[in-house]
Structures are given as structure tokens and as C-alpha cells.
Chains A and B, each alone.
Chain A
């Protein structure tokens, strides 16, 4: 059995989108290196509840790195210290006895705080609604392999399709831009023959929606790629830009 250790937490508290937020501090003495970051927060909430206090709200669902819910900004880094890893897969062995851990929600005008560390990411849903779909023939199922696709294209499209919509790209971008998310969605559909039909319409509608939601411009900082738990490349943004120009001149 590994020994328990102590961490000092400083976490964001906010009652609603328009309420004024503040930091609350608390020292946890029973942290174990095998705990995931979220389990450490469970321990925090247990302690708070035993004292009759309100638990800290944080977002999670699968806790196995699939769903993209658990987007926390930990010591100034989206999803914590490790690359290619969502918050739920960060384990407490990344910290040592006596560490101070500052936990903030992803901050963006387009992601209003619902409560504490939970933000409303429905702006992403509306970007998808604007054009993130493909036209398919209904009726009987198509023969498999009807559409030949080059291997490298389907691989690249798949890489972009792994986006779990966690919003770490927005959280980490100094401009709060949603270009990596939007670019990944546009590229994963646009690179495949099934997505060809709406390709031009899609890029324009999704870029417009991204802007309407109040996300900032892309300045090519590339920080989004560094924090993406799926390690999606900013090449997706290049695909979006190329598709956009094609749409304008077609």
C-alpha cells in the first residue's frame, strides 16, 4: 500500500453564469497516488458533505477517457500536466506531498459557467448542428466498400474524428478560439466521399456559427494541439481554411 499524502487545493466556486466567482481553499490529507484526479475530487466532496457543506460541482461521465466531459484547467493547463490525456486519466502520482493545485473551469465567453467548475458547452453542439452532418441515401443498406477511399485519407479523417468535444482547445487557447474543434469536425467529414456533398456549405456554416458563438480568432499559437487529449493536429485548421477558400471561390 502506498502512503497517503497531502495536497492544498484552490478551486473555483461560482453559483451561476452571472454570479461572481471566487476561490475556495482546502487541504486534503488523505490523497493516494493511485487515485485519479476525479477520485481526489470525490474525496474532497465527501469531506465537504460530511461537514454539511455544498460539494464542488465538476463535470464527468465515463471516467475512462472517452466522453470528454471532464475538462478542468489544472494549474493553468487544460486537462492538467500531461499531454494527450483527459483530466480523468490524470492520476495523483503526478503530484507530490505538499503540492498546491489550482483548479479552474475552462474560461470563455462562449462557455458560461453553470456552477463551480461546470460550464455550458452547448455552443459546440450548435456548431455541429450548423453543418456537421452528411447526406445519406435512406432505404436498404449500401454494399460495403462502394466508395473507395485512399488509406491515408481515411486514416487522417479518423484522426480528426477522434475529437471528443471536451473544449480543452478553447480553454487553453489564449484567444479562446474554437478553431481546432471546428476544424477537426469539418476535416473529418470533408476528407471522406460521404461528406463531399455538403463540403462547401458545411465549412461556411460552421465557421459562421463558431464566430456567432463568441469564440475568438485563431492566432496560430498551437496550444490547442498541445492540450488536446486526442492529440489532434492543428493541420485540421489548415483543412478548414483550405475548404473555406474553395467555398468562397466556387
Chain B
């Protein structure tokens, strides 16, 4: 039987891993949204949440490493699958059309690599912007005797800028596209049959992608359209 490493490199193994890493990335997004929404839960809650994350110490590094590994492994596989296309079909069709019916060939499935690369580029900017403040030290303050990072102010300030607010909304729309196929595709990669369940999973994919991303999108757009002091954000 093939060694585990060889199996991981096979076409079947690669597809499993794209699926598994994709599932974990989606779980991460759910957690990330939960954390983000605390920005609406009073002045200190979000900063306190950030503070708790900081306090995880070495465990935080482990989590960050696992996430980086998931993102990079997923991206490397996804891009290599897309690049293999050219090798497997050096001469493309002059005319090409999907037959529809049971096919899942859609704008979303055809643009997985493009939406993926957009997510990757965004990720670098996103971390640089909020974790490293584009090189600016994060302000800190003391509340009830606890030293807190002033991340909430940084976020609000960022999203009063239209480039940030609409840039984020755009990327989040790209993630809707990625997940509207990715969610179903991950189940299929992990062994789901193509039948009635599969149809429900595709419907769930649309709901999941849209609800999750509207949740994320609400933050920059709300802040932008209320100029940073809407009633949900300023009390």
C-alpha cells in the first residue's frame, strides 16, 4: 500500500486535503466572526477579547502556526490543481459550454483560484493592517486595573476610510463566491454522494456563505456609513 506521504501527494489525497483544510478554514471563519462581533458589545469587550488572546502566550503562537499552515497548504494545493489544467489540456477548446443539469460548473467553481488568490493577498494586507497597524505601535490604556490594547479604536478608525471599508466589502464578496462552491465541494471531496443530500448541502452552502459574509461585512459598512459613531458602536 502507498506510504502516507505518497498518498497525500496523489490526486485523491490532494483533493482530500483541499477539502479538510477548507473545512478547518471555514470553522476558523465562524470563530473569527464571533470574536469580531464583540466590537458592538460595549467599549471594552472587544479590547478585552483581544487581551485574552494575547494572554494565551505560547498557545497563541501555536494557533497562529496551525492557521498559517492550513492557509498555506490549502493555497498551495489549490493553485497547483489550477495550474495542472494547462498541462492536462495544452490546447484549449475554441468553443466551450457547460451542459448544465447535474453540473456544478458555475462562475464560483470556475473562479476558485482567482478568488483564492484575492483572499491570500487580502490576508497579508489584513494582518499587516490590524495586527501590525502598518508599522504603528498599538495604543494601550488601563481599564479596571487591566492593561488593554486599543484595537477597537484602530478598527473604527480604519473603517471610516472608504478605501478600507469598500475594499473589505469587496473581498468578503469574493469569499462568498469561494464558499458558495467550496462548502459543497469540500463535502464532495470527503466522500459525499451526488444525490438528494448533495442538493441540500449546495443550498446550505449558499446560506452559509451569504449569512457568514454579511455578518463580516456589516462591521466595515456600518462603521463607514455612520462615520464611526453609530448608536451600535458609540456608547
Contacts and interface: CB of A to CB of B under 8 A. Distances in A.
Interface in B1-42: 1-2, 4, 7, 10-16
A86 to B, nearest CB: 13
Given A235-B193, A247-B1, A247-B2, A175 B85 contact: yes
Nearest to B92: A107
Contacts of A175: 81, 84-85, 88-89
A225 B7 contact: no
B100 to A, nearest CB: 6
Contact of B10 (A222, A223, A244): A244
A76 B190 CA distance: 30
Interface string A236-250: 011011101101101
B104 A222 contact: yes
A107 B94 CA distance: 11
Interface in B175-229: 184-185, 188-195
A20 to B, nearest CB: 10
Contact of A76 (B14, B93, B112, B184): B93
A176 B85 contact: yes
A210 B97 contact: no
B67 to A, nearest CB: 24
A223 B95 contact: no
A219 B109 contact: yes
A181 to B, nearest CB: 13
A242 B188 CA distance: 11
B95 A172 contact: no
Interface residues of B, number: 46
Given A221-B109, A226-B102, A109 B87 contact: yes
B98 A225 contact: no
B103 interface: yes
A109 B10 contact: no
A23 B93 CA distance: 12
B97 A244 contact: no
Contacts of B109: 219-221
Nearest to A244: B12
A109 B88 contact: yes
Chain A residues touching B, majority SS: mixed
Contacts, number: 149
B136 interface: no
A100 to B, nearest CB: 10
B14 A217 contact: yes
B87 A240 contact: no
B91 A21 contact: yes
Given A107-B92, A176-B88, A238-B193, A250 B99 contact: no
A231 B182 CA distance: 24
A174 B85 contact: yes
Given A174-B110, A204-B1, A241-B12, A75 B89 contact: no
B96 interface: yes
Contacts of A172: 99
B89 A176 contact: yes
A250 B2 CA distance: 10
B185 A219 contact: yes
Given A176-B89, A214-B88, A76 B101 contact: no
A76 B97 contact: yes
B21 to A, nearest CB: 15
Most buried by A among B12, B88, B191, B192: B12
A241 B103 contact: no
Given A83-B101, A219-B81, A226-B98, A177 B88 contact: yes
Given A217-B84, A226-B98, A242 B191 contact: yes
Contact of A250 (B1, B100, B189, B194): B1
Interface in A68-99: 73, 75-78, 81, 83
Given A77-B99, A218-B15, A221-B105, 4 more contacts: A107-B91, A109-B89, A210-B11, A220-B188
19 contacts: A77-B97, A102-B94, A107-B92, A107-B93, A110-B88, A174-B110, A177-B11, A179-B11, A207-B11, A211-B10, A216-B88, A217-B14, A217-B81, A219-B109, A223-B98, A225-B194, A234-B194, A242-B191, A244-B7
Interface of B: 1-2, 4, 7, 10-16, 81, 84-85, 87-105, 109-110, 112, 184-185, 188-195
